[in-house]
Chain A
């Protein structure tokens, strides 16, 4: 017996750790992940060479250094990424003292925790595979560790058996897990808030807009949100998903105004053509929710601001579902207050002289606001303006450069230049960012809005119709509105334009949508909904807990029976099986064989009890003895057939 645990269980434990840590390692700086992997490699080598742990002083020193590395890597910022990286690194330093069963078990079981923490970052469908594989490897590691304990001489059973038993363990855990998942009372309100400072850089709309900054977003095909409509989806040209509304312009950047978070005091009625829909919003680490113009109500704790943006009290860090209604016919601010008008007209005076001159000229030609806007849009259409994602960044007089020199850009360029032009002409204007369009998934009956559908447009205030949406990009490139950014821009890599790849992507997205809807979106409300559909409406958490316990008992009873049921010694041959069945049928007739009797003795004793069938039985006993003890297995087939005949006749 060697002093240290054998290589195989150690290797399984390290695999459990590495599988669980894989996404965390991918999110760390490469050199930090290299440190973690190196620690695992060292431990494997130590197990191979059967060497022991390093001295305590060295362990302390390395642990201190590892913590310092984490601090350096994350710049001392505390967030979820830092916390999980610290956990990974601490487990890696644990490798130095992972020489007892206790420590091996600790690492294998903390792997489960590590798996669970990954879901704070992403709960996409593909992580289901990660969950399954991680649980299997960790369980196998625990089984292997137990086998060291059960076999101190060091002869471990075949690892195939361990893998099989861990697969069984996990499979048998599923009924209990699913019952708990569905019936465990959920919290209606979180007990504590989310940390606002988060470390994970996620792509999404930013809070401000300076033309040239978000172009990489248009190439990002990952979903932003999915929408299911009650009834038909709105027509394509109405699918403007409202995000941050920008009022302030400093010459290069558009930002939200100081009153951006103020709740609206305007009442938005549902109107005659309300659109009701449910959004599953992917986490984007910002506080806003997306809605069509104009949201009637705010879900839960969220508020609708004065410029009709829906703002959540905390950042969206997990998949969030909300139901919302919009009234597309609503007239926003038929009277414009002076304060708002002055903000919506403010322009830095020393910028874009040519644009301002153009605005003045247009104003003198068109005293009417609507005529002026139409002439500008016509101008966009007639002049060689084009839509492209590979536009160059703009300098000090951005609008001038764009309108008179470049004449190529994407929505932000158009929205920004148009807004500047309007403000210079004295028309109150604001910029709205958000998403436009979306892909209607026929099979799934939902609208998929991707990051590449990000868009920016303007709203001008007109007497009589209030804030009115004007999308200058639509004037230049109607395709952009009809088909989305991807419809306009040829992808650099033609491979991804293949139809079948697109189809697979759409199919996968439909799966992802179902996953989001039924698994990730399952919360307190859905639980109540599910229970009331089962005829149990309005259960209190205590009652749900009771129901859960009851169902758990129901579910675990068959599992317990399967596990614990009697398993008599297996018959070693077909003939024996038949013989045992024969004895069983006699037992029903209250004829019992004593354990000490030989088959022949028994047959002779009971011959007269069986009356006319006595000789038959004696013959069977004889045949059995010849097969079982005399090795004449050729007789088996006949014997089995006759025995069956005998049994059926007696029952």
Chain B
């Protein structure tokens, strides 16, 4: 739907959204941790509520006209039920605590999971809470004093920091006549990493090699790497005689160029069409390098991260890639 909207309407919509958010903010905190109270809770009848209202009106007019007192009493009992159910809908949200929200970063195109933790600070149970974003709705019931979480899927499109739109928490307790709801905005934005390229070119093994020959696998070096079956053409001095005798077969020693301690993933040297494509190739490389447990560094413009090989480094780099 967003794609269909023209630029103008988008602008108006953004304007309205900003105004709405500012208005809600004036009414009280709108980001977790927050405890809902009367300034943040809104109540309106549901469709069923309006229908019952119409029914009550018909009962009222009929009974008044014929001065039918039992009919009036029935009507007024329904009116009392309705007014109490409004209070009870409000009560279900009142002093409910939205403790925190959390969404782990994902690659663009994946669905992020927004985890919302609700805490019920009183003895009172909070049944039938509906928590929703624009895209998804989940139901949860809290027993008195309980803390529980729901996770909602958030679709992502582009790398960078994505606004997590407003979330709504609502309830139609106890008989579905009134809907009480409240808005809140998750306290942080969602980090969206670039999506890794589907079939990236192999890792650039050293900064120098990035220029020309990319395929370095199988090249000879002077560091012992492994034993392997003898193949025709292997020089004699490579044969591991002692080991061959033990295994009753000819084995050759294989030597490799030692891995460059500073595998440099440089944006300016990465192949690919356009910035986004090169970033996604870099992302794929970074993940690959991390999987191979190699020390690697990332160069984005003038900034160089690493070298390092730990998880934190990967997170830092992915974040830098997302933000670049």
Tell me the complex Cα distance, A145–B48, Å. Answer: 12
B243: Cβ under 8 A from any A Cβ: no
Whether A131 lies near B70 (C-beta < 8 A) is yes
Tell me the complex Cα distance, A135–B78, Å. Answer: 8
Tell me the complex Cα distance, A135–B70, Å. Answer: 12
B283: Cβ under 8 A from any A Cβ: no
- The minimal Cβ–Cβ distance linking B40 to chain A, given in whole angstroms, is 15
Tell me the complex Cα distance, A150–B129, Å. Answer: 7
Contacts of B122 in A (CB 8 A): 566-569
Whether A173 lies near B80 (C-beta < 8 A) is yes
Whether B73 lies near A131 (C-beta < 8 A) is yes
Whether A172 lies near B51 (C-beta < 8 A) is no
**Given A146-B175, A150-B128: A191 in contact with B65 (beta carbons within 8 A):** yes
Residue interface mask B107-142, A partner, CB < 8 A = 1? 000000000000001111001100000000001010
A51: Cβ under 8 A from any B Cβ: no
* Chain-A contact segment, one of B11-19, B84-92, B154-162, B247-255: B84-92
B317: Cβ under 8 A from any A Cβ: no
A483: Cβ under 8 A from any B Cβ: no
Contacts of B78 in A (CB 8 A): 112, 135, 173
Whether A177 lies near B87 (C-beta < 8 A) is no
User: Which A179-200 residues have a C-beta within 8 angstroms of B?
Assistant: 180-181, 184, 186-187, 190-192, 194
Whether B80 lies near A192 (C-beta < 8 A) is no
Tell me the complex Cα distance, A177–B76, Å. Answer: 4
Whether A152 lies near B77 (C-beta < 8 A) is no
User: Which A199-221 residues have a C-beta within 8 angstroms of B?
Assistant: none
**Given A116-B63, A194-B66: A146 in contact with B55 (beta carbons within 8 A):** no
- The minimal Cβ–Cβ distance linking B268 to chain A, given in whole angstroms, is 52
Whether A109 lies near B52 (C-beta < 8 A) is yes
Whether B87 lies near A520 (C-beta < 8 A) is no
B81: Cβ under 8 A from any A Cβ: yes
Contacts of B73 in A (CB 8 A): 131, 177, 181, 519
Q: Which residue of B lies closest to A191 (CB)?
A: B65
A564: Cβ under 8 A from any B Cβ: yes
Tell me the complex Cα distance, A174–B145, Å. Answer: 31
- The minimal Cβ–Cβ distance linking A134 to chain B, given in whole angstroms, is 8
Whether A180 lies near B74 (C-beta < 8 A) is no
Tell me the complex Cα distance, A175–B77, Å. Answer: 9
B62: Cβ under 8 A from any A Cβ: yes
Residue interface mask A120-145, B partner, CB < 8 A = 1? 10010001100100010001001101
Whether A563 lies near B84 (C-beta < 8 A) is yes
**Given A151-B141, A569-B121: A176 in contact with B80 (beta carbons within 8 A):** yes
Whether B64 lies near A146 (C-beta < 8 A) is no
B275: Cβ under 8 A from any A Cβ: no
Contacts of B95 in A (CB 8 A): 566
Which bucket holds chain B's interface residue count? 35 or more
Contacts of A184 in B (CB 8 A): 64, 72, 76
Residue interface mask A92-131, B partner, CB < 8 A = 1? 0000000001100110011011011101100100011001
- The minimal Cβ–Cβ distance linking A5 to chain B, given in whole angstroms, is 13
**Given A150-B127, A150-B141, A564-B90: A523 in contact with B81 (beta carbons within 8 A):** no
Whether B71 lies near A567 (C-beta < 8 A) is no
A577: Cβ under 8 A from any B Cβ: no
CB within 8 A of A564: which of B87, B123, B127? B87
CB within 8 A of A135: which of B64, B72, B77, B87? B77
Q: Which residue of A lies closest to B46 (CB)?
A: A105
- The minimal Cβ–Cβ distance linking A194 to chain B, given in whole angstroms, is 7
Whether A115 lies near B74 (C-beta < 8 A) is yes
A436: Cβ under 8 A from any B Cβ: no
**Given A119-B70, A180-B76: A112 in contact with B59 (beta carbons within 8 A):** yes
Q: How many residues of A contact B (CB 8 A)?
A: 65
A560: Cβ under 8 A from any B Cβ: yes
Tell me the complex Cα distance, A430–B70, Å. Answer: 41
CB within 8 A of B55: which of A110, A173, A187? A110
Residue interface mask B142-173, A partner, CB < 8 A = 1? 00110000000000000000000000000011
Whether A172 lies near B84 (C-beta < 8 A) is yes
**Given A169-B174, A180-B79, A564-B90: A519 in contact with B66 (beta carbons within 8 A):** no
Whether B87 lies near A559 (C-beta < 8 A) is yes
B216: Cβ under 8 A from any A Cβ: no
Residue interface mask B27-40, A partner, CB < 8 A = 1? 00000000000000
CB within 8 A of A120: which of B51, B66, B121? B66
**Given A146-B128, A149-B128, A569-B123: A317 in contact with B80 (beta carbons within 8 A):** no
Contacts of B293 in A (CB 8 A): none
**Given A113-B59, A142-B175, A146-B175: A170 in contact with B71 (beta carbons within 8 A):** no
CB within 8 A of A519: which of B69, B88, B121, B172? B69
B67: Cβ under 8 A from any A Cβ: yes
Whether B76 lies near A186 (C-beta < 8 A) is no
Tell me the complex Cα distance, A546–B117, Å. Answer: 45
Residue interface mask A35-61, B partner, CB < 8 A = 1? 000000000000000000000000000
Tell me the complex Cα distance, A378–B194, Å. Answer: 121
Contacts of B304 in A (CB 8 A): none
Whether A187 lies near B67 (C-beta < 8 A) is yes
Whether A169 lies near B85 (C-beta < 8 A) is yes
A440: Cβ under 8 A from any B Cβ: no
CB within 8 A of B77: which of A165, A174, A559? A174
Whether B124 lies near A567 (C-beta < 8 A) is yes
Tell me the complex Cα distance, A176–B85, Å. Answer: 13
B61: Cβ under 8 A from any A Cβ: yes
CB within 8 A of A187: which of B64, B84, B139? B64
**Given A563-B88, A568-B123, A569-B123: A522 in contact with B71 (beta carbons within 8 A):** no
Whether A102 lies near B174 (C-beta < 8 A) is no
Q: Which residue of B lies closest to A114 (CB)?
A: B74
Whether B51 lies near A109 (C-beta < 8 A) is yes
B94: Cβ under 8 A from any A Cβ: yes
Q: Which residue of B lies closest to A105 (CB)?
A: B48
A588: Cβ under 8 A from any B Cβ: no
CB within 8 A of A116: which of B75, B87, B123? B75
From B58, B65, B76, B94, residue with most partner A Cβ within 10 Å: B76
Whether B62 lies near A116 (C-beta < 8 A) is yes
- The minimal Cβ–Cβ distance linking B92 to chain A, given in whole angstroms, is 10
Whether B67 lies near A186 (C-beta < 8 A) is yes
Tell me the complex Cα distance, A186–B76, Å. Answer: 13
Whether B74 lies near A149 (C-beta < 8 A) is no
**Given A174-B77, A177-B76, A567-B123: A146 in contact with B87 (beta carbons within 8 A):** no
B68: Cβ under 8 A from any A Cβ: yes
Whether A176 lies near B174 (C-beta < 8 A) is no
B residues with CB within 8 A of A:
48, 51-52, 55, 58-59, 61-81, 83-85, 87-88, 90-91, 94-95, 121-124, 127-128, 139, 141, 144-145, 172-176
Which 8 pairs across A and B sit closest by C-beta, in order of nearness?
A173-B80, A150-B128, A176-B80, A177-B76, A142-B175, A119-B70, A180-B76, A116-B74
Known: A169-B85, A191-B64, A191-B65. 11 other contacts (CB 8 A): A131-B74, A143-B175, A146-B128, A146-B175, A186-B64, A192-B65, A519-B69, A523-B69, A524-B67, A568-B122, A569-B144
Instruction: Show 28 residue pairs from A and B whose CB-CB distance is below 8 angstroms, ordered by the A residue.
Output: A106-B48, A109-B51, A112-B55, A123-B69, A123-B70, A127-B70, A131-B74, A135-B74, A139-B81, A143-B175, A145-B176, A150-B127, A157-B127, A169-B85, A173-B79, A174-B77, A176-B79, A177-B76, A177-B79, A180-B72, A184-B64, A184-B76, A186-B64, A190-B67, A523-B69, A563-B91, A568-B122, A570-B123
